[in-house]
Amino acid sequence: MSELSKRATIYLDPELHRVLKIKSAETSRSVSELVNKAVREALAEDAEDLAAFEERAHEPVVSFEEMLKDLKKRGRI
């Protein structure tokens, strides 16, 4: 573990903890490594979502009703 690592206490669902311990043993990686990787991936996904929202911020807003009318008009529903 890196010198720059910070210690934190987290509380996991018992089943989730059990699965993490099994995966840790099977992959020869610590639970901390697995949790860090999962958190990094979740944060990266959030960053991608925020970028997509930003890209589309200036697109016109279409109401649900308008969308339904358009789909009916084009024979999609």
Tokens 């910070």 -> residue: 6
In a domain, 2, yes or no: no
The model's pTM is: 0.68
In a domain, 21, yes or no: yes
In a domain, 25, yes or no: yes
In a domain, 4, yes or no: no
Tally of domains in the chain: 1
With 70 as the cut, is the pLDDT of residue 35 above it? yes
In a domain, 18, yes or no: yes
In a domain, 35, yes or no: yes
Contact 20, 31 (CB under 8 A): yes
- 31-55 helix and 14-27 helix, angle to the nearest 10 degrees: 110
pLDDT per residue as tens digits for the range 2-30: 678 999 999 999 999 999 999 999 999 99
Q: What is the mean pLDDT of the chain?
A: 95
Give me the helices (H) in 1-77, please.
14-27, 31-55, 64-73
